[in-house]
């Protein structure tokens, strides 16, 4: 009987860890606008085919519980919205917003009201549910961002903390160049950067999409290795399609490798959530993490994750704040036309025409529109920074700001893209209805019907290769893609791959382009391009007692971060594509030092040897031969007569 109970417990734990693992990616794009790669990047807020049907229980005393209830019981954890499994009173008890998220002078010392989102009463510190600015407003303390940088040479943790906790603050679509906004827009993030360890940018994996990169951050594996090769994909062995609007994404068979939360659980380290439903406000997510940090020692997790859907959502809608040139010369981009030189005389003779009023007016309107777009991208960055400030103020309030390690990291960047810059395969192929194209910033082509005998990848390749002088994509057989992309060795990657020029899209035909009813393009930005393009680079900042103080490190690939997170938690990493120890220069102390293999035999250096030949080759290695004789012999071979000609050799 005990064996049966233990086996049942193991099944429950396995289901819980898998569900948490899958949902690191599932909720990251919830309720996002339709866009490239099949227009399927965002699932609905509620899944209609959930196995849970009972919601009659209560969430009283259970809000955001770490132990997930299985069907048919209702749930109160942060995943229940995705599974349509929340108890009937989840919104009422767990998503309170009364009183707001901050203390004011009027609220200081208030009588505790359980309906408030957070508290400013005298007992809130003991209860671990203060608003994050309680001590600033009510006790006269300073905001974390207003304090000077301080070097933390060793973790200063309260009693009971076995290891410094790790908080992973991930942001979607955070282009590396957004950091140029600086402290005027993002003072909290700028302080993390300037006081901790940062790189100019971090390189994502290809394709620069959300799902592949988030799971790469979690596993240290390339997409071809962990299996999540896109936000949507088809597996010919399973004969099944993975996309964000179906139940297939919950099937463990799609997810390879070992993500960080499973590595932690297997080695006895508790992991908090790695997913937040889009309906849970950012302030509630921060307050929940802070409350988890006050749990008893045997219940408190050691690793947490916060996820922000911004600035990706605004980046798609409005585009990034400005164009950015690629870090390498694109083979598709035509060379710039050289400027025409004008002589001073011609410059004087050129008639000077007064500027047209209409053109000046349009110019001002364009300038105003550009400024408006910048404001619409700046505001989401301010909101993200405000959330970072709430986290750091909350940690300082709990006296954990010298204990916790924080990683601020993005998944990919953002580029200017509109519907007008779209290549249609119907301009190259006679019949596009027989193929399935994963469209957008990259193209993956497979036959629409697997039994189509007429489908020939070589013929399609021939019809797509070098057909136009201004062609904005380049077709590859997947095995011929640049090896640096590591995007071939997986059956879910189609045989034909289109590497699309940055700022462009690819689609089958004009009817496949999703537009608003008015005909206007619904997006101004996208991602997924070659991971060497500057605009696809993202952000990395490490702050805390284990990271170096005021240190700038060279850029690195995101496959390396899994090993660093394992080192921060004292874990042994699972096999991955990163090089363990390659980022030791980020950390104050190194828990892992790579060792070279021992030499079995000593090096053997052979003496100078001359090749022996049975034939007279007409040359010698003897230094005693006179230079004059050598010159005469050379002239003889070249049939040169006379000393004058020999002087010109």
Rg (CA), the chain: 31
Nearest to 204 by CA among 476, 503, 531: 531
Structure tokens at 84: 């349509």
d(C-alpha 576, C-alpha 222), whole Å: 8
Where are the extended beta strands (E) located within 282-367?
A: 303-311
Cβ count within 10 A of residue 368? 10
- Which structure tokens are listed for 586? 């980020």
Q: Is the dihedral of CA 88, 94, 95, 97 positive or negative?
A: positive
What is the Cα–Cα distance from 21 to 370, expressed in whole angstroms? 40
Catalytic member of 17, 29, 210, 288: 210
Tokens describing residue 427: 């301009």
- C-alpha–C-alpha distance, residues 405 and 556, integer Å: 20
What is residue 265's DSSP assignment? H
* DSSP 8-state symbol, 183: G
Is the omega angle on the peptide bond into residue 176 within 30 degrees of 0, that is, cis? Answer: no
Residue 442: phi and psi, rounded to 5, are -150, 160
Cα–Cα–Cα angle for 74, 76, 78, rounded to 5 degrees = 125
CA angle 611–615–617, rounded 5-degree value: 75
Residues 6+ apart with CB under 8 A from 148: none
The closest of 354, 287, 301, 348 to 127, measured between CA atoms, is 287
> In 3D, which of 188, 171, 213, 168 has the Cα closest to residue 312?
171
CA 525, CA 505: separation in Å to the nearest integer? Answer: 11
Measured CA distances, 286 to 61, 129, 250, 379 (Å): 19, 11, 26, 19
Pick the closest to residue 442 from 499, 513, 517, 386 (CA basis). Answer: 499
Nearest to 81 by CA among 60, 105, 50: 50
Chain Cα centroid distance, residue 67:
28
Is residue 210 annotated as a catalytic residue, yes or no?
Answer: yes
Cβ neighbours around 426 below 10 Å, total: 16
225 conformational bin, left if phi > 0, alpha if psi -120 to 50, beta if neither: alpha
Catalytic residue list: 210
């Amino acid at each position: 009987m005990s064996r049966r109970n233990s086996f049942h417990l193991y099944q429950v734990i396995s289901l819980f860890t898998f569900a948490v693992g899958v949902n690191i990616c599932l909720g990251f794009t919830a309720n996002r606008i339709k866009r490239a790669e099949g227009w399927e990047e965002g699932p609905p807020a509620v899944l209609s085919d959930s196995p849970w049907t009972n919601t009659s229980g209560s969430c009283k005393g259970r809000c955001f519980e770490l132990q997930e209830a299985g069907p048919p019981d209702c749930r109160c954890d942060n995943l229940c919205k995705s599974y349509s499994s929340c108890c009937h009173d989840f919104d009422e008890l767990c998503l309170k917003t009364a009183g707001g998220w901050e203390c004011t002078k009027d609220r200081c010392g208030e009588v505790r009201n359980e309906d408030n989102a957070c508290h400013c009463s005298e007992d809130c510190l003991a209860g671990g549910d203060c608003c994050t600015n309680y001590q600033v407003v009510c006790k006269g303390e300073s905001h974390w961002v207003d304090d000077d940088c301080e070097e933390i040479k060793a973790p200063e943790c309260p009693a009971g903390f076995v290891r410094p906790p790790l908080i992973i603050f991930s942001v979607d679509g955070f282009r590396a160049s957004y950091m140029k906004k600086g402290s005027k827009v993002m003072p909290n993030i700028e302080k993390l950067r300037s006081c901790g360890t940062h790189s100019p940018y971090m390189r994502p994996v290809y394709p620069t999409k959300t799902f592949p990169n988030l799971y790469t951050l979690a596993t240290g594996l390339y997409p071809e290795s962990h299996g999540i090769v896109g936000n949507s994909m088809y597996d010919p062995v399973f004969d099944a399609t993975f996309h964000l609007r179906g139940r297939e994404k919950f099937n463990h068979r799609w997810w390879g490798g070992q993500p960080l939360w499973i590595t932690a659980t297997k080695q006895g380290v508790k992991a908090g959530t790695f997913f937040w439903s889009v309906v849970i406000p950012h302030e509630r997510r921060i307050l929940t993490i802070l409350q988890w940090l006050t749990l008893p020692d045997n219940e408190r997790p050691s690793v947490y994750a916060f996820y922000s859907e911004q600035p990706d959502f605004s980046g798609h809608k409005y585009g990034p704040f400005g164009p950015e040139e690629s870090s390498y010369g694109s083979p598709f981009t035509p060379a710039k036309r050289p400027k025409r030189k004008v002589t001073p005389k011609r410059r004087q003779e050129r008639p000077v025409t007064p500027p047209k009023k209409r053109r000046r007016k349009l110019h001002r309107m364009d300038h105003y529109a550009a400024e408006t777009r910048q404001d619409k991208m700046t505001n989401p960055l301010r909101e993200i920074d405000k959330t970072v400030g709430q986290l750091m103020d909350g940690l300082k309030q709990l006296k954990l700001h010298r204990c916790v390690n924080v990683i601020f990291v993005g998944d990919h960047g953002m580029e200017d893209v509109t519907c007008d810059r779209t290549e249609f395969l119907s301009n190259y192929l006679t019949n596009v209805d027989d193929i399935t194209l994963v469209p957008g910033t990259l193209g993956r082509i497979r036959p629409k019907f697997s039994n189509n005998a007429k489908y020939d990848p070589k013929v399609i390749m021939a019809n797509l290769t070098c057909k136009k002088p201004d062609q904005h994509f380049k077709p590859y057989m997947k095995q011929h893609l640049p090896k640096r992309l590591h995007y071939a060795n997986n059956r879910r990657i189609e045989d034909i791959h289109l590497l699309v020029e940055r700022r462009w899209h690819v689609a089958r035909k004009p009817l496949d382009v999703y537009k608003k009813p008015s005909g206007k393009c619904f997006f101004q930005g996208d991602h997924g391009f070659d991971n060497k393009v500057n605009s696809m680079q993202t952000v990395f900042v490490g702050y805390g007692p284990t990271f170096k103080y005021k240190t700038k490190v060279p850029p690195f690939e995101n496959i390396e971060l899994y090993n660093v997170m394992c080192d921060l938690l004292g874990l042994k990493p699972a096999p991955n594509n990163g090089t363990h120890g390659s980022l030791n220069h980020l950390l104050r102390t190194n828990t892992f030092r790579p060792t070279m293999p021992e030499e079995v035999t000593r090096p053997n250096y052979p003496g100078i040897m001359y090749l022996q030949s049975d034939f007279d080759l007409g040359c010698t290695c003897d230094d005693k031969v006179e230079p004059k004789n050598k010159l005469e012999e050379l002239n003889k071979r070249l049939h040169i007569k006379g000393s004058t000609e020999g002087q010109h050799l």
